[in-house]
């Protein structure tokens, strides 16, 4: 058994706008395990400026991990809690290997060699006219749930876009908003109150993470349900995760496996929410199709009734070809499709 890693730069087809800036490229790392002529793959999805393990020594840590995996296997995972993207990659790699190097990460996800997961349609930030065009494309494609990124352009223009979505999509359309911490703590509640008349499903992370008292107050007072996202990043200790939940009392969590430490921590948060009658939306974080495949299979294991925040693999012009296809609002695993790792191996 031999384990190596490779840095890979994903290139956006169109620039992706967020409140943190415009993305043109996305850096990630692939783990590869070669065993008797077969390959298993994992993805260490390092998200620059957002991942808690975006720090000096990342590739040195990857080198160490590759050396340790053949002898330690799953036992290595407990030592990677402060390297969440690497933890996610190692967990995916070992699951692939344990299931015969077939990209089957969660066998229980499959029925008749396939599965499907409901997804929302994501609208990236841009100019007002660009965003309207993207909204129109999603609605004409048949999406029943639209997620709009806000917090970067003038709020009144964003409010007009929300109104536009509601009018074009009708009352049955589900609207989700993602502020990525873009509202100031002083203005957040007033802005949310202006959004309330448009029947918003929830708004993600209205203020920047780390302001626990302010966020707890917002969750209590907001007329629109608030979902925690970035708030979960960089919380490594179990006691601190529990303290976060007890302090903020959220009812909705956005779980990004690569940013919080893999599927074990997703399960941990899901279990914490059960007695609160809350729910989670599992979301990708600009992974390639290697990471996306693992997240999609994980989602399929619990048969969600509401759309999840997983990507569709269509953002990048050099993604890894994978056996998925998209129909309105649903991502399908195609048993007749194939992977192609020529650009990796």
Tell me whether residue 149 is one of the annotated catalytic residues.
yes
CB 40 within 8 A of CB 101: yes
Tokens 């160490």 label which residue? 64
User: What size, in residues, is the chain?
Assistant: 345
Distances (CA, A) of 115 to 103, 111, 148, 194, 283: 14, 6, 26, 39, 17
276: DSSP letter: G
Report CA 280 to chain centroid distance, whole Å: 12
Q: Please, which residues have CB within 8 angstroms of residue 290's CB and are 6 or more apart in sequence? A: 30, 41, 42, 43, 92, 320, 322
Instruction: Select which of 26, 138, 149, 191 is catalytic.
Output: 149
Residue 155 corresponds to which tokens in the numbers above? 């709020």
From the list 26, 147, 191, 256, the catalytic residue is 256
Q: Which two tokens stand for residue 117?
A: 């997961």
Q: Own/partner pairs for 161-169, CB < 8 Å, 24+ apart?
A: 161/128, 161/131, 161/132, 161/135, 162/195, 162/198, 162/200, 163/198, 164/132, 164/135, 165/135, 165/139, 165/198, 166/198, 166/199, 168/135, 168/136, 168/139, 169/139
Pinpoint the alpha helices (H) of 196-345: 212-221, 238-248, 257-260, 263-273, 289-301
Q: How far is CA 86 from CA 54, 61, 234, 256, in A?
A: 11, 9, 14, 13
CB 203 within 8 A of CB 195: yes
Contacts for 343 with CB less than 8 Å, ≥ 6 apart: 8, 318, 320
User: Which residues form the catalytic set?
Assistant: 149, 256
């Amino acid at each position: 058994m031999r384990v190596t890693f490779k840095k890979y730069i994903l290139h956006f087809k169109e620039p992706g706008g967020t409140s943190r800036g415009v993305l043109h490229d996305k850096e990630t790392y692939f783990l590869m395990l070669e065993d008797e002529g077969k390959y298993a793959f994992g993805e260490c999805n390092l998200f620059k400026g957002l991942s808690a393990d975006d720090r000096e020594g990342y590739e040195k840590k990857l080198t160490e991990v590759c050396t340790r995996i053949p002898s330690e296997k799953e036992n290595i995972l407990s030592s990677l809690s402060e390297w969440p993207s690497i933890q996610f990659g190692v967990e995916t790699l070992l699951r692939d290997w344990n299931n015969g190097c077939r990209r089957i990460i969660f066998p229980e996800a499959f029925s008749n060699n396939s599965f499907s997961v409901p997804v929302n349609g994501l609208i990236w930030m841009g100019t007002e006219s660009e965003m309207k065009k993207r909204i129109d494309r999603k609605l004409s494609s048949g999406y029943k749930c639209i997620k709009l990124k806000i917090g970067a352009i003038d709020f009144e223009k964003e409010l007009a876009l929300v109104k536009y979505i509601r009018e074009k999509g009708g009352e049955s359309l589900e609207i989700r908003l993602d502020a990525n911490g873009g509202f100031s703590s002083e203005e957040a509640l007033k802005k949310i109150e202006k959004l309330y008349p448009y029947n918003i499903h929830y708004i993600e992370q209205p203020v920047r993470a780390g302001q626990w008292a302010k966020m707890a107050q917002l969750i209590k007072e907001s007329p629109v349900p608030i979902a925690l996202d970035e708030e979960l990043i960089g919380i490594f200790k179990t006691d601190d995760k529990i303290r976060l939940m007890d302090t903020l009392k959220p009812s909705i969590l956005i779980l990004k496996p690569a940013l919080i430490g893999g599927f074990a921590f997703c399960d941990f948060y899901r279990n914490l929410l059960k007695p609160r009658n809350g729910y989670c939306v599992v979301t990708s974080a600009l992974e390639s199709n290697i990471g996306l495949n693992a997240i999609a299979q994980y989602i399929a294991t619990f048969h969600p009734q509401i759309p999840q925040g997983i990507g569709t693999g269509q953002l990048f012009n050099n993604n890894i070809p994978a056996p998925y296809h998209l129909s309105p609002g649903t991502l399908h695993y195609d048993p007749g499709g194939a992977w192609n790792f020529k650009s990796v191996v």
